[in-house]
Structures are given as structure tokens and as C-alpha cells.
Amino acid sequence: MSRAAPAPSSFFLEDIVRRKDRDPEGPEDDLAIVLRHWHDSEAAPPPPELANDPLNRALQPGEIGVSYMVTGQHEIAPESDYYLIDRSLQPGDLVKLNVHDVQSGVVLETNVEVKLEHAVSQVQYGGWVTASELENATDVYVGDYIIHNDWVGQVEELFDEAIAELTNKSLFCFAELGGRMQVGDRGPDILPEASLQHLAETTSAIPEVLVSVKPTVLAIAWLAVNQTLDAETAAAKKRPKQFWNADEFKELCIVRPRSILRVSDRVRFRDASLAEMHGVRNTRHGKVDMPGSELIESDILVVRETKTTVRILWQNGTITDNIPSTAVIPYANPDEYDCWPGDWVQWKGEDDSRAGVVTSVFADERTAEVYWRSSPTNPPKDGSKPPSFSIVSVLELDPHGSSTPSWDEPDAIGVRRGDFVLLHHEEATNGCVLPRVPKIGELEPWVRDTNPDGWRHEMAHIGMDYAQRYDAAKSHSPTPATQQGKLQQEADTRLVWKNPKEIAWFGEVTSLRTSGDIDIYLPSGETVAVPLKRLTLLMDGRDGLPGLWDEPIVIDGQQDAPAVQGEVISQVLGQFFGIHTSNGAGVEDLDEDMGSQGSWEDYDGDGDGMDVDGGDNYQELPPLVTIPEASTEDVSGSAPAAAVVPESSEEPASLNALPTPSSPHSPTTKHGDSENEVEDDLEGPWKKFKMLPSAPPDHAFLSKKVGQPTRQFMSRLAKEYKMLSTGLPDTIVVRAYEDRADLVRSLIIGPENTPYEGAPFVIDWHFEDTFPQTPPTAHFHSWTNGNGRVNPNLYEEGKVCLSILGTWAGDKAESWSPTRSSLMQALVSIQGLVLVKEPWFCEPAFEKLRGTHEGIVNSRLYSEKAYVLSRSFVRRALEYPPGSLQKEIEWLYLEQGKLAKVIADAKALIEASQKSSRAAVGGGGNEDIMRIIPGWEDKAVPKLTAGGILPLQRTLGKLEAILAEHRHE
């Protein structure tokens, strides 16, 4: 019985919801915010003090975790128990009309109305208030940008002074590092432990509510200098100091991202007349007769409910105004080729490249219209002028600059709404070639210091010293954290910052024009249109901090599922070791050959054939070519001779001391037709394992320094070679080298009924001197021409993401084991568990979406991309054969007919896809993506879009030319 597909998601993170069993018009106490959703990627584990929080258990499909606004209560419940009140969106967010739609849009503007209550008194005000009447009451956030003396920096840490009103209505002032406090916070836990102990020594009253919070010290990391300055002037601008106290804030300009109001934000009216018009009254706190205390007022309000409308630019270029945010859904998993009008892109053909701006996207066809802003790298030979606009496949567009963008990359393609940029002088440029934009943002070394006695400790001392300067009566407590800070004389006033009206060299990207110009919102409030070539992208300094992205994801105390699961590896290996090789020999179960403990010590490489019952899930790996039924003569031969390794030696063995393992006798296998005869003997080009005299010059690790390996290294390598010589499936070949025993090259042919069927995948391997204690290092030869990854686990820069190789954080059972793991295990894992039918789900976070409409659509789009890119791998391998494998590739594709089959299969898919699209004219949109060619339901690629067909047809033209030339010869 087939499993029912999960229902489409109703809610998303930060949605405002109310239970259906509550009064729809009831008090806002019933409102809750969605903090977790079952289909979202899980975050890092909670801190120990939150381990018992109800939200921390694993979610089942259809569940959400919410937090109630007023009470703070947490609960997990079915999302069907709630209805949506509002959806928080901000400019730059990506949305769709519904989960079934292919077309997406980008939010251009938001309009938010809010309901308010006083943060301290909790008096509620019933009417809706527009966001334009309010301002953020939080003086500064970690991450805000600061400008001083032509430098731009970023707030890394805050030191706050706060005033709490006690149950006896007196005031208690304290200080804390970290910026976690907000006016209106309630309960005894609002005080740090040390301050709470100090309070208990002086009074029986306990904290009731925070009535004032003010930053008194900032730690600022300075990122970049004004780019409009000439080099000499810029060099003379000294980097500002690290710590700043409240008396010095007037020298700083604060610049924070334009953002919308959210529930629980602290705000105030822009002027007193607006507050009076809405009936808002300030609260007064303190006792006149208390020494050292004054009455203070609080005008801070809390957003308790929101109502949001948005303006959306759709991919087809149309704009929708004033649409309720609840009428759209967040586009959580955009395709890597998704782009929108105004985006700068790099078009990458097989022999050409151009920069342009997207004017519209036809999402159902995966094509886009591009306004070209640069000349082709290879202009037309007839001298004709290239068109200014073209329809191209999005699979050939790079809107990002890298499939794995990182903080360390020197530049990016274009900019995005919400980016912060530095402007260059009108007569100057950023020095990059369009559409590239340089990145800037030097991360100061002190920011990376996590030592508790480091800069944060110094900052706390500065904060306490600042507070004590204003104390009427100093505390004699030896613990700095318990010392009572000043009772702020102007706690009800706003901090004074420098006016940013003259800053015209730094701003936020607000809009991307289809002309290519970029709208920049300056700190002064002015918006200017600037050419891309005059912009430099400021990198968020916090993005460069270590450990933010490379830590393993943990759920419920266990690391998230790796891209390749250990138990599946075991299953595939169990199947693999039961397969008969073409010479009638097989490999016994690995654990049996290695002894009861799985040790390599007793493995001698003997490979007597045996039948293994793979169970119901057993699937034999596909043969190299289709072989009609025929009898195979079983000729027994001697087992491979063990490699000669010196029993003792004064000096370590050299890397070229390993002899070539002899191979078992390989009988000729008849295919029933003399034209299809395959010989897998010592002279055959498709010998699955072969030792060659020297490593090829194009080997990725050839430049690695050759060390002096130990006897253990050489002995283990000999056993690895013997296993490879007898156990590889027909669709994997491996080449080792006499002059470099530390290097190996492998060729894996994509399995049948996957997007990779028939395509060559070349991976180079390097054995460090520490092998087998450490796994071999892999380098994948990606031939995608910079058009994205062909597989989530195979990176364009060569990384192979696999638990057994230590490049993915799997659990201990899936990691490399010196006694149980092998190179062959890694090879079979790549072929059987990476090059799969639905590679999109290799991303751990996406496995939850298997069976959902979103998962089906994204998986099919990814498989189409993988299929098109892997056809170009065939062309690349034939035009520029990798060293050590030229004869094998020519034999497979040209002599054995694999190339003709690749071409015929691709042309049949194109023809069927075009026929299906013509028959469905009028349907369009998502329906066309989901429509499958009749009879192709079980195919890995059941249909191609127009955007997939365009580059595939060009590749097929090249492949047909190669085949025609071969036949002519």
C-alpha cells in the first residue's frame, strides 16, 4: 500500500496564529508565534537550561511548535488546530501564491499596521496604528552598522544598564553584558544571578518589571573605509577604537536595515502629539523619598498584533499591489537557477559568456529574457551585431557567482535587495568586470576571540567603571556584576547619535532596475540610482565568524542525517559483494573476510565466487552493456598473489615499491553476437583495475609532496589493490600508478534510470601518509562549466561530500574506520547512494519533503538539471579525455555504442517532451511541470522543460559531430 503524501504546509516560521478553539475576536493573549515547523531544517540543540522545553522534542509531520505572546507558554500541536492571523514578510523575501505554483515573486514593499499595548502597564490600545507613525524604541542591536570618520563598522556586543521596578515600587539599577533585556520583561529571572543575590541582601522585594534599558558601551568591529576617498586620504584614515561609551555615542552615526515591525517589537510614537491622539499615556516609576532615586517615565510600547500587506514583483515582470501577506507563502527552497527581473546574471554557454540583466522569467519553461550588458566573449564570425535581448535557458544563467557562496570569496554576481553597499565616486568603478561586484569587510582578529577572559571581560569592566562614575553611593561588593550602576537621570530620554545627513557613500539596496541600475537608500533618507560598476558589497562581519555553518546539525541529541546514511551503505555493500564479476569470481562478505572483528589483518584478497541472498531489496548493479542471456564457462584460476612486502626493513618502503597485483584469469564472455563480443582479459581496455607506470599530469593531487610511507601503509595499500582487482562492478574502473602509490584515479559510469545514466564521473584519490588511520582524500572532476553542481554531494570545486570520507558530519558508525572501511566501499557508495534516481533528496533537510508537492516539483527540476549537465560530461570526456582513461572512454562510448545510445535516449526524451507540451497548450504553469509523458512514469527524468531542451540540444549537436567523425574514420 502506497504511503499518503503529506498535506501541504499551512504555516511557516514567525507566522502569527490563534487556536481554533479560541474566540476569533478574543483578546490578543491568545496569539502565538510559530517557532518550529515539521518540514523545516532543525537547528542546533538547545542550551542545557532549555532541555526540558516542550518545543524541543522531534516534530511529527503536520505539527508546529508555538510560543504564546503574553504568557510565553510553549506547546507543540497539529497545525490543523490553528488558523493564520498574519504573516511577517519584509522586502527581498521570496514568495509564491501557493505551494502548487511554479512562479515565484520577490517582495518589494510592505505596509504594516499594528495594535499596541504599553510595555510596562500592559494597557492595550484598540485601534490600528500605521508603522509610519512609530519608530523602533530599541536604541541599538548587535549587527547594526556604525559610521565614524569615514569608517563603517558593526556592533558586535552591547553592555546595557537597566532599571527594574520592584514589588515595593522602588527601583533597582543593574548592568549586564549581552543586550538580551527589553523594557516590559517581567519576573525575578530578568536579573542576572549575581544582581539577584545582591538585591536579596538589601531588600525582601523582588523584581517585577523592567522600566528602562539603555546601552552604555558598544564593541564595534570596523569593516571598511569610505570608497569615494582617494587612496592617499583613505590610507590616512586611522581605524577607530574598539569600545565606545554612551557619552561618545554622539560622535557615531547608526545605520540599521530597513525592517518591518513584528509582534513583540518595542516601539514608541515619533512625537508626543501622535501618542496623545491615540490616547497613550506614559507610566511613571520610582519613589520620591528614596535616596538617589528619581521618578522616570516610560513611553515604550509593545506590538501585540500586526496586519501586513505587500507589493510583489513576479518573475514574469508583473506587479501586485496591496496583497495581504496571508495570501502568499514563503518560498523556502528556491532553485539555484531562480532569478527575478532586475537580477544581474552571467550567461555561460559552452564556448561563450555574457553579462546581462533579467527582464522577465518564464518559470514553467525555465527560460528567461535577458537584456545584454556586455559583448559576447566570442562575437559572431560574420560580424553581425548580437541582439540586445535574448530568450535563454535559466540552466545556463549564474545569478549568484558560485554554487557554494561563502564569506571568503572575493566577489559576487550583482547585488540583492537588503544588501549594504559602499558607493564609489561618480568617475570611478569598483574594478570588476560586469556582472561581478567586489566584496569588502575586514574581520578584525579580536572578534574571533571566544576566551571568556578576553575582550568581553574587558568590555564588562569598562561598563561597570562607566556606571560607577555616576553612582551617588558606591557598592562595596567585590563582584563587579553585583555592583549597582547609576540610576539613569535621563532614563526616559533617547540616546543622541550623530546626524547622518551628509553620508552619501554607504547605503542599503532597495530595488533592482531592469536597466541594470541599482536603487540605494542612503542614511540621510534619500534614494539614489547607481550603476552596478560603482558598487562594492559590504560583507556582514558576523557571517565570517567561525562555527556558524560548519558545525554538525543536531536534533534531539543526535546529529542530523548525513547525505549518505550508514545503514544504506551497509545494504548496498551487502548487495555488491554478492555480485558475480565478469570472470565468474566474486567477493565474500567483507566482515567474514576480515575476521569476526571486521579487521583487515586477515584479509588476503581471495575472491572465490559465492551466491548471496540480498533479500527483497536486492538489486544487481547494472552491467556495462546489456548482455543477452548466454552460458558463461566457469574457469577456475588461482587467486591473486599477495603483494610482496618486506617483513623487516631499516628504511620505510618507497612509494614505487608496491608491485602490481596479478589478476585472475578472465575468460571471454560471448554476447551472442560477434559484433558485441567483450573481452575482459589482461589486454582489454576496460580492465576494471590496472596498475600503470606513471600518474597522469592532470591528476588533481600530482603536486602533493611525496612522503615516506610506513610498512603499514604499503601493506594496507596492497590489500586495497587486491580488493579492487577482484571486486569492482562492471561500471567502475580504477587506475593506480607504480611511480605514485599514493595516487589513484577512478571512473564511475552513472547507473541506469538515474539522471546520470551513461555519464562518466572521474574522481581522483590521494592516500596520505597517515592512511589507513585517516580516509583517502577525493577530488571530483566537475565539468559543469560553472553552471552549478551536478549533484548535492559533488561540488564544483571538487569536494565529495560523504560521511566515510570525513567530509560530512555523520555519526560514528558512518565515519571512516581503519579496520572496516575501504576505497571500494567509498566508490560503491558514490555510485549507489550519491548518483541516485532523485538526487535532490540527498540534501538531508529535503528528505522531509519527499512525497509533498513541493518536494516532487523541486526534485524533478533538479533531476532535469542533473541530466542536462551530465550529458555534457560525455562530451567533455570524449573531447578532452582524462589521463589514464582515454582508451577506456573511447572503447565504451565509441566502440561499444554507448555514445549512440546516449544521443538516441536524449533525442527521444526531447521529442516526447515537446509533443507533450504541444498537446497541453493552454495548461501551462505548474501543471506543465507536473505533467509526465505517458509511459515515462517510472523514469528518473519523466519530462524536459524548454529551458532544459535548449542547452541539451547544443550538447547533442557536439556529440553527434563526435560520433559522425568516429564513424567516418
Residues taking part in catalysis: 801
In the block, which residue shows the cell 501622535?
A: 274
Alpha-carbon distance 63 to 78, whole Å?
A: 4
Q: How many CB atoms are located within 10 Å of the residue 61 CB?
A: 14
**Of the candidates 818, 793, 823, which has an alpha carbon nearest to the alpha carbon of residue 808?**
793
Q: Residue 324, Cα to own-chain centre: how many angstroms?
A: 29
DSSP result, 406-465? -TT-SEEES--TT-EEEEPPTT---SPPTTEEEEE----GGGG---TTSHHHHHHHHHHH
Contacts of 421 by beta carbon, 8 Å cutoff, 6+ apart = 415, 506, 507, 508, 509, 518, 520, 535, 536, 537, 538
Which DSSP letter does residue 678 get? B
Length of the chain: 969
> What is the spatial distance between Cα 407 and Cα 180, in angstroms, rounded to a whole number?
27
CA dihedral 225, 230, 236, 238 (to 10 degrees): -10
Q: Round to whole Å and give the CA distance between 154 and 205.
A: 39
Tell me the three cell numbers of residue 547: 562555527
Residue appearing with cell numbers 554478492: 578
C-alpha cell at 312: 510583489
How far apart are the C-alpha atoms of 406 and 909, rounded to whole Å?
A: 37
CB 342 within 8 A of CB 358: yes
Exposed, middle or buried by CB within 10 Å (0-12, 13-18, 19+), for 20?
Answer: exposed
Judge whether 632 and 750 are in contact, CB under 8 Å.
no
The whole-angstrom separation of Cα 183 and Cα 267 is 10
Q: Is 400 helix (H, G, I), strand (E, B) or coil?
A: coil
Check: CB of residue 310 under 8 Å from CB of residue 325.
yes
Q: Which residues neighbour 860 within 8 Å (Cβ) at sequence distance 6 or greater?
A: 929, 930, 941, 942, 943
Q: How far apart are the first and last CA of the chain?
A: 55
- Rounded Cα distance, 851 and 861, in Å: 15
Cell of residue 319, nine digits: 506587479
* DSSP string for 155-221: EEEEEEEEEEEETTS-EEEEEEESS---TT-BSGGGS-HHHHHHHHTT-S--EEEEEEEEEEEEEEE
State how far the Cα of 364 lies from the Cα of 930, in Å rounded to an integer: 10
612 backbone φψ class: left, alpha, beta (φ>0; ψ -120 to 50): beta
Q: Are 88 and 325 in contact (CB under 8 A)?
A: yes
Cell numbers for 144, please give them: 547594526
Round to whole Å and give the CA distance between 341 and 546: 34
